Amino acid sequence: MKRAKAQRAAFWALVLATAFGLASAGEAAAVAVDASGGRPAGVLQKGGASDQARELREEWGVEVVSLRRTGYGHMLDFRYKVLDAKKAEPLFRRATKPNLVHQASGKVLAVPVTAKVGPLRNSNAPLEGRTYWMFFGNAGDLVQAGDKATVVIGDFRAEDLIVE
């Protein structure tokens, strides 16, 4: 019992350290860029990716940076950069609950809510040029690197994201 409790505490400490440590250094984080015009490599599916990236920029004022496994595979780290704060405001509403859909299985993953920190996502007013994050629980190690996923936040949909 004590060991399981200690493991859970260590896991959440790692999650919070990752979230707060990387969030403050988000602008400085190096992101591999492919030759298709500045979007991060491996994030959007090849093919219709440029159309979706353009739509996300024009309609929502954001650019997807990455979708990665973290916390020993127990979490998925979704990062996006705000290009237009006014257009991106709906993504930061606390009443809107983000979900990640694993395309292969159709399972819907939610943002974990901790007792002391609350939801593991940003919900303050967005600022242009900043990179923001949110975590999704990955119970049972369902989502693997290379899988496709869709992030849904209200009417916002970023489809065919490839997990790194």
Q: With 50 as the cut, is the pLDDT of residue 51 above it?
A: yes
pLDDT for position 121: 94
- Cα–chain center distance at 149: 11
One-character DSSP codes across 74-88 = TEEEEEEEES-HHHH
Of the pLDDT bands very low, low, confident and very high (cuts 50, 70, 90), residue 33 is very low
End-to-end CA distance of the chain: 34
At 2-17, the pLDDT tens digits run 555 545 554 554 554 4
Higher-confidence residue: 32 or 1? 1
Give 3-state DSSP helix, strand, coil % of the chain, rounded to 5. Answer: 30, 30, 40
Calculate ∠ Cα 148-48-164, nearest 5°. 30
- Model confidence pLDDT, tens digit, residues 119-158: 999 889 999 999 999 999 999 999 999 999 999 999 999 9
| Residues sharing a CB contact under 8 Å with residue 7, sequence separation 6 or more, in sequence order | none
Q: Are 62 and 56 in contact (CB under 8 A)?
A: yes
pTM metric for this prediction: 0.73
